[in-house]
Structure 1
Amino acid sequence: MATKSRSYHYLAGISTGSARMLLQVIVGVCLTPFTLRFLDREEYAIFGLTLELLTWLTLLDVGISAGLRIQAARLSGKPDPDRFNRMVSTVFFAQNAIVLVVLVAGLGMALAFPHFFPIRESLRHDATWLMVLSVFGAALSIGSQTFSAILVANQQMHIDNLLGLLMVIIRTVLTVVLLELGCGIYSLAIAHLVSKAVTAVMAVVRTYRLLPDLQIKFRLASWDILRQIGGVGIYFSLGGLAGIIIHSLDTTVAARVVSIEAVTSFLLTGKFYELVGGLVWLITENARPMLGQMLGQNKMKESLAAYRQLFALSTGLAVVAAFSVWSGNGSFVARWVGEVNYAGTFVDLALAFGMIAGLWIMPNRAILSANLAVRNQTIVRLVEGALNLGLSIIFGRIYGLLGIVGATVIASLITSMWLLPLFTARMFGRPFIRFVWDDAARVFILMLCLLPVALAARRISTDLGGYVGAALGSATTGACGVVMIWFLMLDRSLRARFPIRQVYERIYARTARVFTGTPAS
């Protein structure tokens, strides 16, 4: 019964998360050109840089929220209400203190922001206030993380996703209204702040409905629990630092080494990789609570089987998604926001391989974190981040945006893409070479088979041009890729979860009854 419950919540998380990501894709496609009618390229880049800088403030959480998610998920397999209440109370009051630090640090960043980047004089005042509004949004987000973590730990990821859907809707409507009213660059920050506030309140309400016996009291807070959660959480925080360096500093480096306008080209060319990659990321991310429960019950064999299936499905889809986006991205971006905002074919291809590299290690990160094995993977990620930053600056000065994106792929190949599988193999007591071969061989075969298809589809997309060419190129690669995943990546047990044959036979039988007049049995 527990297994069925885990599967149900996992699928609910996947479906609602996919709906959330798809809505973000639709909003991104429609809202971006609309926004560029009211903002110039530099103003759009400033907002993008603001959001990237705000990720640094999340590090002040020192991984407490992530630690709570993991600890609470493991505890949910062996319920202990008293310990749970003490854990939640400790994290809640610790995060209230962190919010104050975030506000102070964020306001300092707001004052320095327009002077750090080469922003034109007429935009510096607006850039400062844009950052101030965004800082308040970040503080709200951090302050409500306790309740979001509780929902996720109790496999209520679908509720968290539905709140995310609501946030996207509120932000989109407010952005359109405020832009039309002439609020300019402030429209984006105000919409961001209001949507965060509304969904934060709703997360609190939903948590108490889910857990009516939940008690958050100062007297229940414990330094011992804070040290325990913080001992694990600090590594999540350091891992977050590494993630920022690896994925977010590219825009900062581009602004400093290339130009502010190059940031806009970089963001818009990579927009669909970010959105589609988010859909694939959900497959692994929604499995974290389930993995935590299994490992908390010491079900190592079941955990290994789940890891294998996650790797096959998520990595295979990452390859197909990346090549599908690349097949039509050039035609799409040129038609969507103009040729001037497209970063070029080779930057596009580098972004595709960067997406694959980033998603390659996600199953390893999920299973290691679920088993509280975070120290070694965090060190590896920090090394990768430092290497990535150094290479990005060097290659960026020589090759521009291509060098910056390429540095991300090279740094990942040298570090995380083989070291994290090594840690996973050791955790399960398996020989490393055989363990990696069992996982990676089929992925490389898939890439070799799909790359010629993507090249041909890209050529067709370019020849046709516009949205039609983009759709045809991406759809061709995606359809071929899905067929290849079915035959190359999925084992028999995983195929059994997708009853395509049974559905086909049912449709065929019903169709036959209609044409033959045979009554349903």
Structure 2
Amino acid sequence: MKTKSRTKKSIVNARMNLICYFLTLVVAFFTRKTLLDYLGTEFLGLTGTLGSLLSFLNLAELGIGSAIAYVLYKPLFECDESKINEIISVLGYLYRKIGSFILLAGLLLSAFLPWIFSNTEIPLSVIYTGFYCYLVSSMFGYFISYKITILSADQRNYIVTGFFQLITTIKVILQMTLAYYTRNFYLYFAVELISGLLLSLLLNHKVYRCYPWLQTDVRTGRELYKEYPEIGKYIKQLFFHKIGGFVQGQVLPILIYAFVSLPMVALYTNYTLITQRVQGLLDGILNSTNAGVGSLISEGNQEKIWINYRLLFSLRMLTSGIFSFCTSYMFSSFISLWLGQEYILPDTVVYLIVILMFLQLSRGINEQFLFGYGLFYDVWAPLVESALFILLSIVFGAIYGLTGVLAGPIGATLIIVHGWKPYFLFTKGLKRPIVSYLKLLLVHLCLTIVGYIGSLKVMEYFLPMIDGLHKWVYWITQASLFTVIISCFTITLYYITLSHFRAFVYRIVKIKFP
């Protein structure tokens, strides 16, 4: 497989993720109000709660799909069809076990639904219908469409994304229409169940169209599992890494409530709704290279790996820096226009939120290569990160309130994610001195900060020209101007300073897309 092919596939994945991301925003904007008006806030609260209950049950899967995807990189690179069939058969066996466990746990959990929803006026028949529809729908991925892991590992995740977005868009439009004309809760859940089945069947069909030689046998997966002991090892290791992130995501709002107040949780959530959207957008684009990195490392050319690491590092820092500085520049003014002046948080808190967003965005590059090398055995790292996160938040939160609570995730991320992880990758994977990473990081930080400072100076010239416009028009014009200016400024600095970035631009220009 040629690098050019990897680059083209990564861009196709990124393009599909970008299109689907904005389509999701548009669909959600138009459907949310209709569902609220005709089905009610209590019903939508019910669907959200049911989804959360099922997400906790699905924690049992953490690590399996990722472990299989990693094991598939090498046989896909070598076009070893026999080995691929065996690995997917093992996945089918494991997913059948996990699916059976989740189904049983879900049935047991359903006995407590009357107690969990004791304060709602929604009939129990509706609650049970919704819960079982969600439960059965989640089973399709374990028993029918588990083979789609091969698409992700082979840099064809755009197929999964495209089909998912198509079915999801049709589903929510149909649910919105039925809500408008019938206000029937049961039809809402019926559409949810049917769309899940249809998506699984379509993806399964597409897998066999792309890989007609794929012949899997779940019944033999149990015996084959013994021949691949590394899969079990990777599953256990990845479980710790993923559960650490899950726990941290759930704990932060609780700590803010404990050390500040419940209203402050709402104010903080207003800001994180925006940062999560930004992070979702960039992750969808930048993580499209995940499978390409795994394939590249399977090739074994260390010099080529290092070249591509520097390139992806530049792209990650460039986009993370631009989006973080744009968010910082326009955050409070947007909140003021959107919700009101009373919802604005202090500048110090805003800067900490943006710093945390930048750290989360820029962490992906090292995690991509650690995954590609299969370096998951530092299972202590997510445990220490979670412990530091909670400890620092409690200590500083008790003293400084919200700013102190935010010191927890920032400190833990700096120490483990941006301290230990690069060291681990460079010593065990890339086999290069950690000084190489520090030089790379320092150069990119300097270029990004210079780009930001220069953009602020240029904006001082343009702002008087748009003064007097309507509030929203002024904000949109200001936001657009700043985004264009900082993007042009920073990209130019990268292009002039970094030779590998110039080479990448030439490569992109030469690629032809259908």
How high is the TM-score relative to the length of structure 1? 0.81
1:495 corresponds to 2:497:
no
SS of 2:78's partner is coil
Aligned mates of 1:107, 1:462 — CA distance in 2: 61
In structure 2, the CA distance between the partners of 1:99 and 1:156, relative to structure 1 (3 Å rule), is same
1:393, distance to aligned residue in structure 2 (A): 5.9
Residue type of the partner of 1:279? L
The aligned residue for residue 149 of structure 2 is: 149
Q: Secondary structure at the match of 1:212?
A: coil
Matched, 1:359 2:361: yes
Match of 1:484 among 477, 480, 489: 489
Q: Give 1:488 deviation, angstroms.
A: 3.4
Q: 1:464 to 1:96 in 2, by over 3 A?
A: farther
Match of 1:475 among 463, 480, 499: 480
CA contact (8 A) 2:75 2:81 kept: no
C-alpha separation in 1, matches of 2:108 and 2:470: 46
Q: Distance in 2 between matches of 1:2 and 1:175?
A: 44
Of 405-414 and 81-90, the range deviating more from structure 2: 405-414
Taking a change above 3 Å as real, the CA distance of residues 43 and 309 of structure 1, as seen in their structure-2 partners, is farther
Distance in 2, Cα, partners of 1:266 & 1:332: 14
Deviation, 1:391, is 4.5
Q: What is aligned with 1:429? A: 431
Q: Which residue is equivalent to 2:274?
A: 272
- Alpha-carbon offset, residue 167 of structure 1: 3.9
Kept after mapping to 2: 8 A contact 1:41/1:261: no
After TM superposition, the structure 1 stretch with the greater mean CA deviation from structure 2, 433-442 or 306-315, is 433-442
SS of alignment partner, residue 14 of structure 1: helix
Offset of residue 299 of structure 1: 1.2
Shift in alpha-carbon separation, 1:434–1:298, aligned structure 2, 3 A: closer
Alignment of 1:212-231 (within 5 A): 212-221=212-221, 222-225=224-227, 227-231=229-233
Relative to structure 1, the CA distance from residue 494 to residue 128 in structure 2 (aligned partners, 3 Å threshold; closer, same or farther) is: farther
- Measured in 2, the distance between the counterparts of 1:319 and 1:381 equals 25
Q: Which of 306, 312, 315 in structure 1 is aligned with 2:314?
A: 312
Counterparts in 2 of 1:197 and 1:447: CA distance versus 1, 3 Å: farther
Once the two structures are superposed, the pairs formed by residues 75-90 of structure 1 within 5 Å of their partners are 75-90=75-90
Range 388-397 or range 13-22, more displaced: 388-397
* Secondary structure class of the residue paired with 2:155: coil
Superposed counterparts of 1:365-404, under 5 Å: 365-376=367-378, 378-392=379-393, 404=405
AA aligned to 1:373 is L
Mean CA deviation greater in 464-473 or 160-169: 464-473
Paired residue secondary structure (1:296): helix
Match of 1:26 in 2: 26
Q: How far off its partner does 1:238 sit?
A: 1.8
1:211 Cα deviation after fit: 0.7
The CA distance in 1 between the partners of 2:201 and 2:300, in whole Å, is: 36
Render the CA deviation track for 1:456-509: whole Å, top value 9, x for unaligned. 79x999997864344234323322321233133452333344359989xxxxxx
Where do 5+ consecutive residues of structure 2 fail to align? Answer: none
Identity of aligned residues (%): 20
Distance in 2, matches of 1:75 and 1:179, equals 48
Aligned residue type for 1:169:
T
The number of residue pairs the alignment matches comes to 499
Counterpart of 1:162, as a letter, is G
- Please tell me whether the aligned partners of residues 330 and 345 of structure 1 are also in contact (alpha carbons under 8 angstroms): no
**C-alpha spacing 1:408/1:430, structure 2 compared with 1 (3 Å):** same
Q: Equivalent residue for 1:8?
A: 8
Which amino acid in structure 1 is aligned with residue 484 of structure 2?
A
Name 2:58's counterpart in structure 1.
58
Q: Please, which runs of 5 or more residues in structure 1 have no aligned partner? A: 504-521
Whether 1:420 aligns to 2:447 is no
Greater displacement, 240-249 / 106-115: 106-115
- CA separation of 1:372 and 1:392: change in aligned 2, threshold 3 A: same
CA shift in 2, pair 1:102/1:198, >3 Å: same
Q: How does 1:117-136 map to 2 (within 5 A)?
A: 122=121, 133-136=133-136
Considering only aligned residues, what root-mean-square deviation do their CA atoms show, in Å?
A: 4.1
Q: Aligned AA for 2:367?
A: R
Structure 1 Cα separation of the partners of residues 445 and 421 of structure 2: 17
Q: Deviation digits for residues 400-446 of structure 1, max 9, x if unmatched?
A: 76655553223212321111111122122222133222134322541
Letter of the aligned partner of 1:417 in structure 2? H
Distance 2:51 2:268 in 1: 15
Per the alignment, do residues 106 and 265 of structure 1 end up closer, same or farther by CA in structure 2, a change over 3 Å counting?
Answer: farther
Superposed displacement of residue 278, structure 1 = 2.1
Return the alpha-carbon distance in structure 2 between the equivalents of residues 187 and 20 of structure 1: 26
Distance of 1:36 and 1:29 partners within structure 2:
12
* Cα 1:299/1:98, change in 2 over 3 Å: same
